[in-house]
């Protein structure tokens, strides 16, 4: 009998082991509003306060965002906004899924691109007839449309490339910002002679490497969307593609003239290196300026330039510009109209516009909102956008999980575990597997 | 059923009922859900899940080398951690079951890592390994500290082992201490008088007598190291190049990053079977070695 009990006990424990792993979802939630989410009372009558839950990942502006929603509630006293801001390096997408799985999905939430919109399509409302649609930038609307219907509300533009330290460049005697790979190599050589480490590579961070940097050979293809289609249909491969061969030269250059241990350098470390003046260039976006200025107010003059992977000056002088966020509306929200009112207010009211431009310092994705108070890097993004010298954020159309696989393959190349060709072949394999769903 | 039996049943259900209820709601039901999803191609978001039969399982065995690799990693990690954490835990227990002045302080300090959440430990140690070690290396010139910690497959593996062992040993130590204190000192003394050395009485008297707690400790460290997740997520996140990816992390990424919840569930079910098998085997093996006085 004792034996039976023991084995029963062990099985029980082992079962709980599994459940433990299934529910081991450590979403650390940064919720500055301390929302003790009380269940929203259904059947709201007139005059009753309606609660709208807003979920997004812009932790860097959480305070300002909370101030904005308070402003909104002043104007609409019967709508209460509860903010859940989960982001930074946390896995906010899993967090969002678990909320929906628990029947506690937010009313308005952030989606980071076409591929995520497709995933959530069955749960979000069609926004084609909203008041702001006429003023949203055409390419932004295109990115948020599925079969001619608009599912996401565009918000702002962001861009990334090589953030560089102008003072270091001047000190090393670089007068012109490099437009080609050869010019970049010369610049790196000059910087090294001046005793400055040219590149701060954050190759430990999946999104710096597997997403933003791998985007360039994809987005520089003659027809990026067609290229993606061909990859999925097995008509094209990453291995052997000319632009990916070019990319190797750029990657090798950053490694040759880069910081120590690039594989374990993450976003924070990379920012610290640059803000502290230890490196002259990092592959980063315009969002990095504010935190780095906070780290070191004496950082000096900084600029942003596209990242050249070959010597075609005209083609390489394009910045990666895209939309980091679309607002999606939960179809099953109990207060659809109130949620729409809030979304609309964010981009059409004077107060909402002011927050977008002056407080968040974002580049609006609307032709009727003028950008003001931009940082140095965002200014460059705006100029390149206006001059139409941009390449798209192609990664938001890749299969889910591709960015992480690319990151792993490229890390293996950087570590010398794989030859470059082998790493590309691995990426092809991963694409095939992930595309299959 | 007579009155006595009814009464007993009533008593039993009062004591066991709540725990059983929680176990059922929190473990059994989700488990059955997972079992169902493992036969579907659900993406984790949409309202409907398409039934695909055994496809997910076939796929795991035929084309998912990364999953198999993560099993290999977890297995190696388990073996090394199991041995190290038990040896160190037992060593601490032996040293601290004597009455030293600092006994209590030392017991507490060895136990503390266990109180901290694995997720935090991972971040703290990430900082130590990536920032602290190189600084020490620069100051002392010792090559051990100058290694590329967490930057390649082997240092990543050992980094995980170090932190895990550091976390678990104190916990095992507490169990071993209570076992050692329960050993009848007259038996040990008798052995001494018969001329057994300290080493011999440890091997032939103490260890057989505390076999039940060894069973428990082995079981705990085995299942803990096999199911390691939070530490893995925060310390290496499976990197570099997926070389330190444990099975649980692989399952998590499959379900939540690749949005293939069905496939992830199939992996989880398979993982459950493997863990059950290994722990059952271990318990039955060590159970056999327990002695009755």
Residue reference for tokens 């930074």: A88
The reply to whether residue B240 touches residue A415, judged by beta carbons under 8 angstroms, is yes
Q: Which residues of A236-262 are buried (b: 16+ CB within 10 A; e: fewer)?
A: bbbbebebbbbbbbbbebbeebbbebb
A403 HSE (CA, 13 A, CB side): 22
User: pTM of the entire structure?
Assistant: 0.83
Q: Residue B220: what are its φ and ψ, rounded to 5°?
A: -65, -50
CA R_g for chain A: 24
CA A68 – CA A54 distance, rounded (Å): 12
Q: Which residues in chain A are contacts of B251 at CB distance < 8 A?
A: 21
User: Which one of A20, A123, A264 has the shortest CB-CB distance to B45?
Assistant: A123
Closest CB from A11, A24, A404 relative to B257: A404
**Which residues of chain A does B239 touch, with a Cβ-Cβ cutoff of 8 Å?**
204, 263, 408, 411
> Could you read off the pLDDT of A6-23 as tens digits, one per residue?
444 444 444 444 443 433
Task: Tell me the nearest-neighbour CA distance from B238 into chain A, angstroms.
Answer: 9
Q: What tokens were used for A363?
A: 């580049």
B217 in Cβ contact with B93 (< 8 Å): no
For residue B229, give the nearest of A24, A97, A400 by CB distance: A24
β-pair partners for A160: A285, A320
Beta-strand relationship, A108-111 and A50-56: parallel
pLDDT digits (tens, 9 = 90+) for A155-210: 999 999 999 999 999 999 999 999 999 999 999 999 999 999 999 999 999 999 99
pLDDT given at position A24: 34
Kindly identify which residue of chain A lies nearest to residue B272, measuring between CA atoms.
Answer: A18
Contacts of A288 (CB under 8 A, 6+ apart): A163, A271, A282, A377
Q: Among A240, A435, A423, which residue's Cα sits nearest to residue B240?
A: A423
Closest CA to A377 of A298, A296, A316, A287: A287
Mutate to test the interface with B, among A12, A17, A118 (most CBs of B within 10 A): A17
Residue of B nearest to A8 (CA): B280
Per-residue pLDDT tens digits for B138-164? 898 888 888 888 888 889 999 999 999
Residue B23: closest C-alpha in chain A: A16
**Pick from A17, A20, A411: CB nearest B239:** A411
Give me the average pLDDT of each 10-residue run along chain B (293 residues): 84 90 94 94 84 90 87 95 95 84 84 87 91 89 85 91 93 93 88 87 89 91 92 89 93 91 94 92 85 68
A97:B223 CB<8 A: no
> Which pair of structure tokens corresponds to residue A280?
């002259």
State how far residue A91 is from chain B, nearest Cα, in angstroms. Answer: 9
pLDDT of res. B286: 84
Q: Which of B271, B291, B264, B268 is nearest to B49 (CA)?
A: B264
∠A170-A248-A185 over CA atoms, to 5°? Answer: 20
Residue whose C-alpha is closest to residue A79's, from A49, A36, A106, A108: A49
Angle (CA) B117 B120 B121, round 5°: 85
Cβ A21–B271 below 8 Å, yes or no? yes
Q: How far apart are CA B168 and CA B218, in angstroms?
A: 11
Task: Tell me the C-alpha to C-alpha distance, in Å, between residue B84 and each of A21, A363, B32, B147, B162.
Answer: 24, 55, 36, 22, 9
Put simply, the answer to whether B45 touches A13 (Cβ < 8 Å) is no
Q: Do A411 and B240 touch (CB under 8 A)?
A: yes
CB spacing of A412 vs B240 below 8 angstroms: yes
Q: Which portions of chain A are predicted below pLDDT 50?
A: 1-2, 4-45
Q: How far is B206 from A197, CA to CA, in rounded Å?
A: 61
Mutate to test the interface with B, among A4, A12, A22 (most CBs of B within 10 A): A22
| Contact state of A26 with B230 under an 8 Å Cβ cutoff | yes
Identify the pLDDT of residue B1: 65
- Residues of chain B positioned with their CB less than 8 A from the CB of A115: none
- With beta carbons under 8 A apart, name residues in chain B contacting A404: 253, 257
From chain B, pick out residues whose CB is under 8 angstroms from the CB of A4. Answer: none
CB pairs < 8 Å spanning A and B: 135
Residue contact B241–A408, C-beta within 8 A:
yes
- Choose among B41, B230, B283: nearest Cβ to A437: B41
For residue A335, the model assigns a pLDDT of 93
Residue A46: its pLDDT value, please?
Answer: 59
Q: 10 Å Cβ neighbour count for A92? A: 23
Of A91, A97, A204, nearest to B44 by CB-CB distance is A97
Q: Which two tokens stand for residue A337?
A: 């109209």
Structure token digits, residue A197: 């480490």
How far is A16 from chain B, CA to nearest CA, in Å?
6
Whether the Cβ atoms of residue A208 and residue A262 lie closer than 8 Å to each other:
no
Q: How many helices (H) and strands (E) does chain A have?
A: 19, 14
Please report the beta strands in chain B, taking only residues with DSSP state E, as ranges in sequence order. Answer: none
Q: Which of B149, B230, B283 sits opposite A24 (nearest CB)?
A: B230
Cα-based angle B98, B288, B281 (whole degrees, multiple of 5): 105
Contacting residues of B for A101, CB less than 8 Å apart: 44
Question: What pLDDT was estimated at residue A88?
Answer: 67
- Report the residue of chain B nearest A423, measured CA to CA: B241
State residue A62 phi and psi, 5-degree precision: -60, -40
Nearest chain A CA: its distance from B255 CA (Å): 9
The nearest alpha carbon in chain A to B256 belongs to A94
Closest chain B residue to the Cα of A265, Cα to Cα: B130
Question: CB-CB: which of B43, B130, B152 is closest to A119?
Answer: B43
Question: What is residue B24's DSSP assignment?
Answer: I
Question: Is there a contact between A122 and B45 if contact means CB atoms under 8 Å apart?
Answer: yes
Dist CA B9 CA A178 (whole Å): 83
Most B CBs within 10 Å: which of A21, A117, A415, A423, as the mutation test of the B interface? Answer: A21
Q: Which residue of B has its CA nearest to A102?
A: B45
Alpha carbons A2 and B137: distance in angstroms, whole number: 55
Whether residue B272 and residue A14 make contact (CB cut-off 8 A), yes or no, is: yes
A261 with B148: Cβ contact below 8 A: yes
SS3 per-residue string spanning B41-69: CCCCCCCCCCECCCHHHHHHHHHCHHHHH
Residue B148: closest C-alpha in chain A: A261
Structural contact between residues A166 and A303, judged by C-beta atoms closer than 8 angstroms:
yes
Residues of A in contact with B287 (CB under 8 A): 6
Distances (CA, A) of A363 to A44, A108, B135: 36, 21, 41
d(CA A70, CA A62): 12
């Amino acid at each position: 009998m004792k034996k039976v009990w023991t084995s029963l006990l062990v099985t029980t424990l082992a079962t709980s082991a599994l459940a433990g792993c299934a529910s081991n979802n450590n979403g650390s939630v940064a919720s500055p509003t301390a929302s003790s989410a009380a269940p929203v009372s259904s059947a709201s009558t007139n005059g009753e306060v309606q609660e709208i839950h807003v979920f997004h990942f812009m932790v860097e502006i959480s305070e300002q965002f909370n101030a904005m929603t308070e402003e909104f509630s002043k104007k609409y006293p019967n709508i209460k906004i509860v903010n859940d801001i989960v982001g930074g390096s946390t896995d906010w997408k899993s967090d969002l899924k678990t909320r929906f799985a628990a029947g506690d999905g937010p009313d308005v939430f952030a989606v980071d691109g076409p591929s995520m919109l497709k995933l959530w399509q069955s749960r979000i409302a069609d926004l084609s007839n909203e008041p702001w649609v006429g003023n949203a930038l055409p390419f932004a609307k295109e990115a948020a449309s599925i079969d001619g219907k608009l599912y996401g509300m565009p918000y702002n533009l962001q861009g990334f490339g090589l953030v560089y330290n102008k003072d270091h460049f001047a000190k090393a005697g670089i007068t012109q910002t490099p437009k080609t790979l050869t010019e970049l190599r010369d610049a790196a050589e000059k910087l090294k002679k001046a005793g400055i480490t040219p590149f701060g590579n954050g190759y430990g961070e999946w999104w710096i490497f597997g997403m933003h940097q791998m985007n360039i050979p994809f987005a520089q293809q003659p027809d990026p969307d067609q290229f993606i289609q061909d990859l999925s249909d097995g008509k094209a491969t990453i291995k052997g593609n000319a632009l990916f061969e070019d990319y190797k030269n750029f990657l090798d250059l950053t490694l040759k003239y880069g910081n120590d241990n690039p594989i374990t350098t993450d976003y924070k470390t990379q920012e610290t290196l640059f803000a502290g003046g230890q490196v002259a260039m990092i592959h980063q976006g315009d969002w990095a300026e504010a935190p780095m200025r906070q780290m070191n107010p004496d950082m000096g003059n900084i600029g942003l330039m596209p990242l050249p992977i070959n010597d075609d000056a005209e083609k390489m002088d394009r910045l990666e510009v895209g939309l980091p966020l679309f607002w999606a509306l939960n179809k099953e929200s109990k207060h659809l109209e109130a949620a729409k009112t809030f979304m609309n207010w964010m981009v059409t009211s004077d107060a909402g516009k002011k927050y977008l431009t002056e407080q968040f310092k974002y580049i609006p994705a609307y032709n009727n909102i003028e950008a003001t108070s931009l940082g140095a890097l965002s200014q460059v993004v705006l100029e390149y956008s206006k001059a139409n010298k941009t390449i798209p954020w192609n990664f938001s159309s890749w299969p889910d999980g591709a960015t992480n696989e690319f990151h792993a393959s490229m890390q293996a190349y950087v570590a010398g575990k794989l030859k470059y060709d082998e790493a590309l072949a691995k990426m092809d394999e991963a694409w095939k597997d992930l595309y299959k769903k | 059923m007579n009155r006595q039996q009814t009464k007993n049943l009533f008593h039993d259900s009062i004591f066991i009922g709540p725990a059983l209820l929680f176990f059922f709601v929190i473990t059994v039901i989700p488990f059955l859900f997972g079992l169902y999803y493992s036969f579907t191609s659900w993406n984790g978001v949409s309202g409907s899940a398409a039934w695909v039969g055994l496809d997910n399982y076939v796929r795991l065995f035929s084309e998912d080398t990364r999953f198999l690799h993560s099993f290999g990693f977890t297995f190696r990690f388990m073996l090394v951690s199991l041995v190290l954490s038990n040896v160190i835990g037992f060593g601490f227990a032996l040293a601290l079951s004597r009455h030293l002045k600092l006994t209590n302080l030392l017991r507490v300090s060895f136990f503390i890592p266990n109180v901290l959440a694995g997720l935090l430990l991972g971040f703290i140690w990430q900082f130590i390994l990536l920032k602290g070690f190189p600084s020490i290396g620069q100051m002392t010139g010792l090559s051990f500290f100058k290694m590329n910690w967490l930057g390649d497959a082997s240092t990543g593996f050992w980094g995980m082992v170090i932190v895990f062992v550091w976390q678990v040993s104190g916990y095992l130590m507490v169990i071993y201490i209570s076992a050692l204190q329960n050993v009848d000192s007259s038996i040990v003394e008798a052995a001494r008088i018969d001329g057994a050395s300290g080493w011999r009485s440890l091997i032939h008297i103490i260890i057989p007598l505390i076999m039940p707690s060894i069973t428990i400790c082995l079981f705990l460290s085995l299942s803990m190291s096999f199911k390691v997740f939070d530490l893995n997520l925060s310390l290496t996140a499976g990197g570099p190049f997926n070389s330190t990816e444990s099975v649980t992390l692989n399952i998590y990424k499959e379900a939540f990053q690749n949005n293939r919840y069905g496939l992830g569930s199939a992996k989880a079910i398979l993982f459950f079977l493997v863990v059950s098998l290994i722990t059952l085997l271990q318990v039955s093996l060590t159970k056999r070695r327990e002695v009755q006085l």
